[in-house]
Structure 1
Amino acid sequence: MIVLDKVTKRFGPKILFENVSMQFDPAKRYGLTGANGAGKSTLLKMLEGNEDTDTGSITIPGNLRLGVLKQNHFEYDQERILDTVIMGNKTLWDAMQEKERLYAAEMTDAVGIRLGELEGTIGEENGYMAESEAAELLVGLGIPTDKHESKMNSLAGGYKLRVLIAQVLFGKPDVLLLDEPTNHLDLESIRWLEHFLTQEFRGTLVVVSHDRHFLNEVVTHIADVDYGTVTVYTGNYADFVDAKYENNQRAAAQAATAKKKVAELQEFVQRFGSHASKSKQAQSRVKQIDKLKEEIESRGPKRSSLVRPFIRFEFDKPSGRDVVRLEGISKTFHDDKGKEIVVYDNVSFNVNRGDKIAVTGPNGIGKSTLLKLIVGGFAGLDEDTKHDGLQSETGEIRWGHETSVGYFAQDTHEALNRTAAGMNAFQWLYQWDKLRPQEEVRGTLGKLLFSGEAGLKQAATMSGGECARLLLAKLVLLKHNVLILDEPTNHLDIESIEGLLDGLKGFNGTIIFVSHDRHVVSELATRIVELRPKGNGKGAEIVDFGGTYDEFLEREGRDK
């Protein structure tokens, strides 16, 4: 059991936690929820011992193994992938390393005795099965056996994250602390992680995630971080939303009744307070009023730091029925050693007006590349978006009549910073259409949660969530009839994701998007384009399915 006792934590004038007392119980799985900046990641850091409390204490029994997902994806770049996983069991890894050093040294009686002790430790930690267990974890997370001997720097960012997840799981922790574990994982790997956490992991889980579907599948409790406190709800995220709404509705009804009673009592005091015969009754009612006001303050509806942006995508003119056609497209890259890597070889498909296409497939298969090729084939891009486009080596990309394309890049910081030197949020957004009334630009910013002073914040200093919302504001302002979105939900909190999803579902134009958020894919997609490795090893082939993601999984015989 992990116990928080009267914990307070501030950053400058901002209070993240004030006098918080709670506990995380054994074998329960907690999802930490709350708005961006509410303090979720800070709470995780305090639990793992990397951040101190200002006052109060956090007690973790010394015999508990703590597993923490590392956020520095480059820390192990020079290590063998298998070794990186085994490092998750520090006791075992240290013993294995010392054993290697001693075998390279001169053999003495003392060295022999120490080697015997180390063999005992390695045996107790099941070290002789370490590589096979590590390999099993890696394969489960989508990293094939032929990669296991390579160094970490040979992997793309998404695959490095998988290795780090395997590292945490290998340590067989009693308590598992995960901060956004599904970021950059493909949908198959997320399903594997969901299965592992619910069917095989028996310890305490504390996880921060903005993936609603993941939280619904995995957690047994929600620890809601909001306005300086942590409130624990039983059930998954959907249960939490219902419970919080019902609690607030109940509290609002009770507050309304109490306010009505206060008004009646105040009327009596005003009418009879000056009459001697009624003065004692008036004083009694004043005390009742004070008590009722205290109850309204303490038990009334709780304010929340969660705010949902209002996102509506509109356009002035619809596109033609035939939006874009890709015919015979090929694309190759070269690695650091000059080896040619085929991503696409003679790929074709078409997009129709009103399609909402989810592009799915394993990490590294070429989903982002496909979106960049589609964008690169459009002639009417603004100067900034041209930077993201790619050109195919063969074939043709033909855009239809009256199409207008808006693109959301996966790397939001890069996309923003290359055009935001010295600009605040308003200046950055206004530059894209200076004929637009400034009031409309400010209104768009307000709907994306950049009201007042927030609209004057320097773009270069923005968080990931703020960058994403500002890039979405550009798409809202420019009113494209085709949206191409590469991981638009990364860095957004759950309320912002829901606001974006509402806007996309209500959009009457065409959407082509990549997302690893299962909830978004299931709710939005009307057509699935899955990329799969070709049998001949020459890049990806396209499996085109006209239907929802759940229907696609059912046809493929995969678990939902």
Structure 2
Amino acid sequence: MIHLTSISKQHGSQVLFKDASFQILPGSRNGLVGPNGAGKTTIFRLITGEEEPDNGQISCAKKTVIGYFSQDVGDMSGRSALEEVMAASARTVALGEEIRAMEAAMCEPMGDDELAALLERYGDAQEEFEHRGGYDLEARAQAVLTGLGIGPDAYNRPVESFSGGWKMRIALARILTLNPDVLLLDEPTNHLDVESIVWLEEWLASEYKGALLMTSHDRDFMNRIVTTIVEVANKTVTTYSGNYDFYLREREIRREQLLASHRRQQEMLAKEEEFIARFAARASHAAQVQSRVKKLEKIERIEIPPEQKTIKFEFAEPPRSGDDVVAMQGLAKTWQLPEGGDKSVFGGVSGLIRRQEKIAVVGVNGAGKSTFLKVLAGETEPTSGTVNLGASVNLGYFSQHAMDVLDPKRTVFETVQDAIPQASIGVVRNLCAAFLFQGDDVDKRIDKLSGGEKSRVVLATLLARPINLLVLDEPTNHLDIQSREILLEALQKFAGTVVLVSHDRHFLRSLVGRVFEIDHGEMRVYEGDYEYYLHKTGRDSRAA
């Protein structure tokens, strides 16, 4: 379907890949992985024709429809949500209008040759219209919007009235409704809640018949959808036949084999070089020496690619808090709506959070999870009821908007140093290095950082302080899979208390032992891990 053959590409002095090849076959499910900056987005742009390869060839079957969802949704305005979604299928809509015009023309008298030509055009148009799913376009658009959490009551809302996260869902709905032959998805789960992620999994598995190439930082999502991994790293593209977990295992096996081959080659080279050095001056061995010199010149040296950088850190042992960390009594929160009136977010919440508990706060988007964490963290006052922190509790709060409160003019070093003003320069630099800010990177200004880099800065400033209660609102949102794994391991070892919101099911399954669910203004407590919660609520069949 799509073949990338011996392609090379570099941006400035940075070589992304050289002489790389892979293919996207009809109906295949491909996961695109690799470290940040390796060239994953460039692969998408090469396939869509937004960029050209420096060398090599990209071939695509005729009439192939490609749909590309990226994190850059552009401006949206002047249409309703439903109209915006259907606008992506402009070619399908135009075909429908052409078909109706041709049907009207057929009712008029015309010559045999003219009618034959019209019937041929009509047949071609009908075939393409059907191939693009034109007969159920509006119904499909409505079903996709609903699946992504935008129900019938919001179909006709002006698209500009939606927040950035919801506009991303509309942009995703545009591409899914297009129902293309090849679907390119760049982080499709970033702004979705668990319910919408599960719906998308089911849609890709049962409804979508085309080929898929996607990136995702959601490990569970990758494992359930893809059957091939395409890795962009070390200036090449490597294909693995399996899901993400298979890829991790196979990559380690291949690296061990490469290391063993490298060791054997180095031993052989050392022996040959020793022979050359020993007998280079002897005329009796001149032919042998020359033969071995030529042999060494022809040998292709095995290179060991550098290991991917990952965050390496551990939380310092926190000061011990009292056994009762947070006591809630009759807790309620109501927001005043801009158009007047009140909206109850949650009410009547009473309970106790105990030392060293790891608690997930779950619920659909808009249920009030972030508001609950804000109340716990003291960022907003409850409308009624009380929140009391226990003895010796030191609270650290990470919000979805934590990056927004960073001073854009400060450097990474200055920001971390502000959190620990008494620490030496060496301690600050070590902490920065633990979060992958090494050398000149520590002097980067905050406004020059990516979302993932800003997240790491905020986590570094949290780590710097003696905290024993962590309140975390989507801490994994901008982190890649490797960084999520390391954060997960650190939180598993953390001796304090954790309350968090996350849409990463692997993260929740591996960490929490208790679940608070907010649903229609009420909070239900499940005294078990995330799997127990899924089972008790009947969600395990959809989320497992």
Change (3 A) 1:372 1:98: farther
Give the drift of 1:401: 0.6
Give the drift of 1:259: 1.3
In the other structure, the counterpart of 1:263 is 270
Change (3 A) 1:352 1:60: same
* CA distance in 2: counterparts of 1:165 and 1:461, whole angstroms: 27
* CA distance in 2: counterparts of 1:407 and 1:225, whole angstroms: 35
Question: What's the C-alpha RMSD, in Å, of the aligned pairs?
Answer: 2.8
In the other structure, the counterpart of 2:496 is 509
| Residue 347, structure 1, aligned to residue 354, structure 2 | no
Q: Identify which of 306, 324, 333 aligns with 1:303.
A: 306
* CA distance in 2: counterparts of 1:53 and 1:433, whole angstroms: 47
Contact 1:73 1:157 in 2 (8 A): no
Q: Deviations over 1:214-251 (max 9, x none)?
A: 11111111111113221111111111111111111001
Change (3 A) 1:98 1:355: farther
In the other structure, the counterpart of 1:384 is none
Give the drift of 1:127: 4.9
| Residue 471, structure 1, aligned to residue 462, structure 2 | no
1:522-537 to 2 correspondences below 5 Å:
522-533=509-520
Amino acid at match of 1:242: R
Q: Deviations over 1:127-152 (max 9, x none)?
A: 56433322222222233332223233
* CA distance in 1: counterparts of 2:344 and 2:507, whole angstroms: 30
Contact 1:307 1:495 in 2 (8 A): no
The SS at the match of 1:516 is coil
Amino acid at match of 1:349: G
Change (3 A) 1:182 1:129: same
Q: Deviations over 1:294-335 (max 9, x none)?
A: 2424xxx3334x211112112441111111122222222233
Give the drift of 1:481: 0.9
Report sequence identity in percent. Answer: 37
Contact 1:184 1:516 in 2 (8 A): no
Which 10-residue stretch deviates more, 164-173 or 396-405? 164-173
Change (3 A) 1:342 1:229: same
* CA distance in 2: counterparts of 1:441 and 1:188, whole angstroms: 41
1:483-494 to 2 correspondences below 5 Å:
483-494=470-481
1:71-86 to 2 correspondences below 5 Å:
71-73=71-73, 75-86=75-86
Give the drift of 1:402: 0.6
Structure 1, unpaired ranges of 5+: 102-107, 377-388, 534-539
Q: Deviations over 1:416-463 (max 9, x none)?
A: 2xxx24321101110122111221111000010001111111112111
In the other structure, the counterpart of 2:104 is none
Change (3 A) 1:145 1:406: same
Give the drift of 1:96: 7.0
Matched positions, count: 524
The SS at the match of 2:239 is strand
In the other structure, the counterpart of 1:547 is 528
The SS at the match of 2:217 is coil
Give the drift of 1:551: 2.4
Change (3 A) 1:60 1:413: farther
* CA distance in 2: counterparts of 1:5 and 1:226, whole angstroms: 17
* CA distance in 1: counterparts of 2:302 and 2:420, whole angstroms: 48
* CA distance in 2: counterparts of 1:490 and 1:248, whole angstroms: 29
* CA distance in 2: counterparts of 1:128 and 1:266, whole angstroms: 73
Q: Identify which of 148, 167, 180 aligns with 1:141.
A: 148
* CA distance in 2: counterparts of 1:447 and 1:399, whole angstroms: 31
In the other structure, the counterpart of 1:394 is 384
Change (3 A) 1:258 1:138: same
* CA distance in 1: counterparts of 2:41 and 2:472, whole angstroms: 27
Q: Deviations over 1:96-154 (max 9, x none)?
A: 789999xxxxxx99xxx99x98xx86975665643332222222223333222323344
| Residue 426, structure 1, aligned to residue 407, structure 2 | no
In the other structure, the counterpart of 1:234 is 241
The SS at the match of 2:525 is strand
Amino acid at match of 2:530: Y
In the other structure, the counterpart of 2:373 is 371
Change (3 A) 1:132 1:48: same
Give the drift of 1:87: 2.3
Give the drift of 1:66: 1.1
In the other structure, the counterpart of 1:160 is 167
In the other structure, the counterpart of 1:405 is 395
In the other structure, the counterpart of 2:326 is 324
Which 10-residue stretch deviates more, 494-503 or 452-461? 494-503
Amino acid at match of 1:543: R
The SS at the match of 2:483 is helix
In the other structure, the counterpart of 1:31 is 31
In the other structure, the counterpart of 2:69 is 69
* CA distance in 2: counterparts of 1:337 and 1:521, whole angstroms: 37
Give the drift of 1:27: 1.2
Give the drift of 1:541: 1.3
Q: What TM-score comes out, normalization by structure 1 length?
A: 0.87
* CA distance in 2: counterparts of 1:272 and 1:173, whole angstroms: 67
Contact 1:313 1:479 in 2 (8 A): no
Amino acid at match of 1:542: M
Change (3 A) 1:182 1:463: same
Contact 1:156 1:364 in 2 (8 A): no
